[in-house]
Every structure is written in structure tokens, then in C-alpha cells.
Structure 1
């Protein structure tokens, strides 16, 4: 809980630093208007200006492509972890260019194994998730497409709810242009914010027909629900129109029909595990499973024993496409990565 509180303090401090000039200008304008026009008009202007600033500051609250520092410049590559890969650029429907890594199994079996589209959380870049991807590659024998959202890493544009959801669709479309993988075995995976992106794509009728399954880990029901958790319970009375980013996964999940695996760490002190339980309960798929790990926190559920075995079991239940687990090679020490 202390860690989560500290993250909130850092986020709020960063936002205050970025918008202090606008706030000071607004206050000065209101003082001048008060002197000339009276309190009612100046208060109204101050209120609307404050709401406007807070509305547009929400992106700074949610998206952190520059944490840790240099995340927009330095992207760790899969070769650092003995993973074969190619760098690809994906063009979205609104002409953003997404930086991505395609990590492929050996050519003789890449067309027979599943391909996972990996959507990361709201901080850093895709290279910070290579530890988890290493485990997926060697334990589950899957191809992996790692996607860097617009405004993250070397991708162009600026992050937004609409934009990230477009990025998710562009990633699936890109896989359909390749002939070295099985298009019937495409699986979406998203952690935290990435789970909201994956749910949005899977709930789309057109794209649900393009994927075999969906897996989400430690994701939330909606941004307004998270605001209640992180800010104050009374925030629930704030009209939804004041939220720039909503990510209403709770309203979308009932439209999903493909098999879904919900992975939750019961020690998650950022996204309450009950949100994952609610998403599982509301999911419209008849083939859904909730995989819970005692001791798994928001960022490290993937290191808990049984994690990859649980995913492998789910994929076998979806379709007999996962080869038996192999013994992965020894790995070097990796630094700890924290999402927010």
C-alpha cells in the first residue's frame, strides 16, 4: 500500500509541475475579473478554467511513456535476452507509426504455434517487458508481437484512449499481412492498461473473428472506478463527462465470445483483485477461466510458480496448439521493472 501511495504522490507532483503556469495564469485572470466584474463571474470562469485544465491533465495521470527516464530513447532489444527478433513498423488507420518487435520461433515451427500480441502497461516501453516475454517464448513455444503504443518508445503520435485502441487493431491487421504464422492461432494478451486495450479489440465483432483467445492480467474495470480507488470515494459522484479517458472494460467484456483467461495477483495493491473477479463474472464468453495467484502483485504476478503452466493449460483447453513445455535456457540477472 505504501508503494502505491508513493506512486500516486509522484504522479500528482509531476502533473502539478506541468500545469502550474496555466493554473497561475487562470488565477491571475480571475483576480483581475473579480476586481472589475465581481465575484460571480470570476468564480464561474475560475471553475470552468479549472475543470478544463484538470480534464486535459488526465493524460499526464494515465500515460507515462517517459518513466523511467530515457524510455522514449532507449528501448532494450530482445537480443539482449537471447531472443530472435525483427523490428517492424506498423502503420495505423490514422497514419501513426508503431514501433514493434516480432519474436518468432524457429522457421520450421513458427507457422504451427500460437502468436501472442503483447500489450504492455502504461509506463516505460515494450523493452521493459522482455523478462516476461522471455518466459512466454521458452515456456509456451509461442511467437510474440510486442507493440509499442503511439507516443511510447519510438512510436509516433501521442497516447489517447481512441488512439491506443486503434493501435491494438493495427497490430492484429499487421499479423494478417504475414505468411509465416497461423492466422487461426492469434491470441491477445494485455497487462494493466494493456488489458483494457486487449478487451476493446476482442469486444469488436470484426476483430473477435480474427483472434483465437484473449488473456488479460491485473487490469481494471474502468478509469472512473480506478479514480474512486486512487483519489477518493466521493469521486464516484463525478459525472463521466469529466473523464477524458474512460476505458469502460466492464461494459465491453460482456460482448466477448472468444475464450478468455483472467490472470490476477491477489497481492495487487494498485488494481484491486476484485476488479478482475468482476470482469470474469461479467464476461460474455462461455469459455472463461480465472487464474489467481496468492502473493502476485501488480507487476510481478508472472514470476509466481505455476504462472506459465496455468496459461499453457488454458491454451490447450482453447485449442490443441501448445507444444509440451520445454526447459528454458539459463538466464542472466535482470533488473526489476515497475509499472504504474
Structure 2
């Protein structure tokens, strides 16, 4: 009976899976069907723009070189409907004030980076970019240099995942307007949540990654920043995130500010 059911409904099941996958993917990465026009930058004395070939896709990177090679490296992961181009002026200012190396790698399919975005591919791209700038002698080996992985919104999942997959980096983490579950990023509908969470094809769950990185010798601390008026990810998400890190005895700084999801520039340097 069960066999006959699946035989008769195989087509509906198949297209149902495709629909759920497409819904999730477009919710997490909507720019793949509505891309944003990139800004054309030329390399200057203050920063470099380089395009890397990663898995036969052109990937855009922007690197701000510190005055000292062994200065910490700030790696920034932006949110949705954004490009690394938007942060050039801000990070050029930050580099001068804090003497940081700063690296941004554009997600696949965003701006003029080619390919299809995914959590796994973003991690591969960043590792390739770091190796590239090591070869240019801008960076030292990860065991001898401090990395600050800073994610905003969608980028918090990218930052957390990179540390989780790469325990050798001496790392600190900043999570701004982040989320704990992919369902937080897809919908707030309590009826859809249980069904969608069964069909997540990439691991965006934060809980087990927090537990894992808490045990990494090279992971030092986390800063969680969240607006009390965030209408995309409720402040409760940030408070749960704080509890998750503190439960694992991670050195945790927690900051709530009066503002919404995209309130960013006015307070950025206060919490770097």
C-alpha cells in the first residue's frame, strides 16, 4: 500500500521537494534572481580589488592592507541585498583608525561574483582568498595572526560556519543582527516552521556549532549586537544566542541598542 502511494505520488513529492528547496534558497539569497549592480573600483594605495578564480567562477575580493603585516585581520560578511562594495568607504576609515588588515569576499552570484551562493562555497572562497593574500605576503599563517570574523544578518551564519569549519584560526567572532536557525531567516510563520525545518539542505543551525567552537583552543570570544526594534530577527533570538554562548563558558559581550535590523553605521566603531 505504501509502495503504491509513493508510485502514484512520486511526481508530486519530487516537485514538492524542489519547491521547498527553491523557497528556502530564494529566501536566504534573493539576489540570485534580482541581482544588485556592483560598483567599479580600481586598486588604490589604500585598498586592492582582486578577482579570484574559484571552482571556475570569478569571485571578487577587496583587501585593505594594514601598516603592519601582523596586525589582526577583520573578515567581514555582509547581509542580504548588500555588496562588499557598500563598505569600502567605511572600512577604509576603520583601517586607518585601528590599523587592521580587512578582507571582504563577495558571495557567489552577488554583484559581479559568479556562481551560485551557498554556505559551503562561501567558506571555500574565503579560504582561497586568504591563501591568495598570504602568497602576496600581506598575511601571516593563521596560527600566528588574529582573525576577527564579523557577520551581519545573513553574514552571521557565514562567520560562525567558517570558524566551525576552520579551528586552526586564532579567531574572535562578532554577530550583528544574527539568527540561530535558518527558519528564523526564512519565515516567522509558526505553522510553516516545523515543515520547512525538515527540509533544510545546508546546515545553518547555530546551536551545535556554538557548542563545538567553544571547545576550540584558538576561539577566544564573541560579541553579540542586536537592535531591540529588529523586525526581521526578534531581540529574543539574540538573547537566546547569548545564553547559548554563555552556557558553553565562552567570553561573551552582549550589546542591545535602540534601533532596527539595519541600524549599523552610527555605532559600528564603538563596538569593534
Band the TM-score falls in, shorter-chain normalisation:
0.7 to 0.9
Q: Does 1:187 align with 2:187?
A: no
Q: Does structure 2 retain, via aligned residues, the 8 Å contact 1:117–1:171? A: no
Deviations 1:288-307 (A, max 9, x none): 21122222x21123313xx4
Report the Cα distance in structure 2 between the residues aligned to 1:293 and 1:67, rounded to whole angstroms. 33
Report the Cα distance in structure 2 between the residues aligned to 1:67 and 1:138, rounded to whole angstroms. 37
Q: Does structure 2 retain, via aligned residues, the 8 Å contact 1:98–1:155? A: yes
Report the Cα distance in structure 1 between the residues aligned to 2:12 and 2:138, rounded to whole angstroms. 58
Q: Does structure 1 retain, via aligned residues, the 8 Å contact 2:42–2:49? A: no
Secondary structure in structure 1 of the residue aligned to 2:123: helix
Matches within 5 A, 1:250-261: 250-256=207-213, 257-261=219-223
Residue 217 of structure 1 deviates from its aligned partner by 1.0
Q: Does 1:64 align with 2:30?
A: yes
Equivalent in 128, 134, 142 of residue 170 of structure 1 = 128
Report the structure number with the largest CA radius of gyration.
Answer: 1
Q: For structure 2, which runs of at least 5 residues remain unmatched after alignment?
A: 214-218
Residue 69 of structure 1 deviates from its aligned partner by 5.4
Secondary structure in structure 2 of the residue aligned to 1:260: strand
Match of 1:119 in 2: 77
Match of 2:160 in 1: 199
Report the Cα distance in structure 2 between the residues aligned to 1:196 and 1:78, rounded to whole angstroms. 30
**Alpha carbons of 1:196 and 1:45: their partners in 2 closer, same or farther (altered >3 Å)?**
same
Report the Cα distance in structure 2 between the residues aligned to 1:78 and 1:308, rounded to whole angstroms. 26
Q: Does structure 2 retain, via aligned residues, the 8 Å contact 1:196–1:249? A: yes
Q: For structure 1, which runs of at least 5 residues remain unmatched after alignment?
A: 1-38, 312-340
Match of 2:205 in 1: 248
TM-score, normalized by length of structure 1? 0.66
Residue 114 of structure 1 deviates from its aligned partner by 1.9
Q: Does structure 2 retain, via aligned residues, the 8 Å contact 1:258–1:285? A: no
Report the Cα distance in structure 1 between the residues aligned to 2:201 and 2:74, rounded to whole angstroms. 30
Say how many residue pairs are matched.
258
Residue 248 of structure 1 deviates from its aligned partner by 0.9
Matches within 5 A, 1:1-340: 45-46=11-12, 48-65=14-31, 70-71=36-37, 74-77=38-41, 84-92=46-54, 94-105=55-66, 109-181=67-139, 183=141, 184-204=145-165, 207-229=166-188, 232-238=189-195, 240-256=197-213, 257-283=219-245, 284=248, 286-295=250-259, 297-304=260-267, 307-311=268-272
Deviations 1:266-290 (A, max 9, x none): 2211122222222222124532211
Report the Cα distance in structure 1 between the residues aligned to 2:169 and 2:203, rounded to whole angstroms. 25
More helix by share: 1
Q: Does structure 1 retain, via aligned residues, the 8 Å contact 2:109–2:117? A: yes
Q: Does structure 2 retain, via aligned residues, the 8 Å contact 1:118–1:189? A: yes
**Alpha carbons of 1:49 and 1:264: their partners in 2 closer, same or farther (altered >3 Å)?**
same
Residue 260 of structure 1 deviates from its aligned partner by 1.4
Report the Cα distance in structure 2 between the residues aligned to 1:156 and 1:147, rounded to whole angstroms. 12
Deviations 1:74-104 (A, max 9, x none): 325388xx98111123454x45442101112
Deviations 1:129-185 (A, max 9, x none): 335424533443322111101222222221123222323433444444342345512
Deviations 1:46-88 (A, max 9, x none): 35423322323422221133687542xx325388xx9811112
More strand by share: 2
Q: Superposition RMSD on alpha carbons, in Å?
A: 3.0
